[in-house]
Amino acid sequence: MRRGNQHRVDFDIYDFLLAFNKSLNDYYTTSSCSGRIALAKAPPRLSYSKGSGLFKFIAKWHRPVTYGEIIGVINGISDGDVWLLVRAPIMHFVARDLNGALRILRIAREAGFKHSGIYSVTHDGVVVEVQGEDRFEVPIIINGKLIVPAEDLRRIIDIANETLMFGKFRLVHLIRLIEVKLLGRTD
C-alpha cells in the first residue's frame, strides 16, 4: 500500500484497502478506483479515442463537483471537444485460487456489481475485476464552444454527481459485505 502514502489511492477506500490487504493471506488488491467525475478532451466518438492518443483527461475528482469547478476548468478551452464523464467504481482482487475468486465474485454480484468477472489467471492467482455500471458521459464543448446553456450545465452536473454517488453507495455495500463475509466483522 505504498501508493496510499503518495496520495494515489482514493481517500474514501484507503482504509478498507489497507485492512483488506493486511488481514487476508489468500487475497490482495491491485488497482482500484472508488469512482470519479472527469473532464476529458476526446474526439466526437468517445469509444474510438481509447488507445489512439486522442483521449486526454484534463481534470478528475473522486467526489461530487460544483458548477464553479467545472466552469473553472473549461473556461480556458478554445478548441476541441470536451466530455463530462462519470466512471463507476472498479476494484481488482487477486485470489490465491479459483474458489477464492468465485467467492469474491459472488459477493460483488450480491452488492450489485453485475459487470464483474474473472479478468485473468496469473502465476500469483486469479484476478477478479469488480466493476460498477454507474456511468455517464456527455459532450459539453464541441469545437471549442460550450454547447449547453448554464442552467442545463448545472442539471448535467447534478446528474453526474447523482450517478457518482449511486456508484459510491453500491461500493459501500460491497465493502460492508466483504468486511462481514471475508474479514469476519460484525460491528
pLDDT tens series, the chain, 187 aa: 333 444 578 899 999 999 999 999 999 999 999 999 999 998 766 655 555 567 889 999 999 999 999 999 999 888 989 999 999 999 999 999 999 999 999 999 999 999 899 999 999 999 999 999 999 999 999 999 999 998 999 999 999 999 999 999 999 999 999 999 999 888 7
Residue 55 grid coordinates: 483521449
Q: Where are the domains of the chain?
A: 2-181
What's the confidence (pLDDT) of residue 40? 93
What is the distance between the alpha carbons of residues 94 and 60, in angstroms, rounded to a whole number?
Answer: 27
What's the confidence (pLDDT) of residue 5? 43
Could you tell me if 84 and 70 are in contact, meaning their C-beta atoms sit under 8 angstroms apart?
Answer: yes
What is the distance between the alpha carbons of residues 48 and 83, in angstroms, rounded to a whole number?
Answer: 14
Predicted TM-score (pTM) of the model is 0.88
Specify the fold of 2-181.
SSo0622-like fold (3.30.1960)
What is the distance between the alpha carbons of residues 156 and 137, in angstroms, rounded to a whole number?
Answer: 10
Could you tell me if 168 and 34 are in contact, meaning their C-beta atoms sit under 8 angstroms apart?
Answer: yes
Parallel, antiparallel or unpaired: strands 125-131 and 136-142: unpaired
What is the distance between the alpha carbons of residues 172 and 3, in angstroms, rounded to a whole number?
Answer: 21
What's the confidence (pLDDT) of residue 97? 96
Q: In 3-state terms, what secondary structure has residue 20?
A: helix
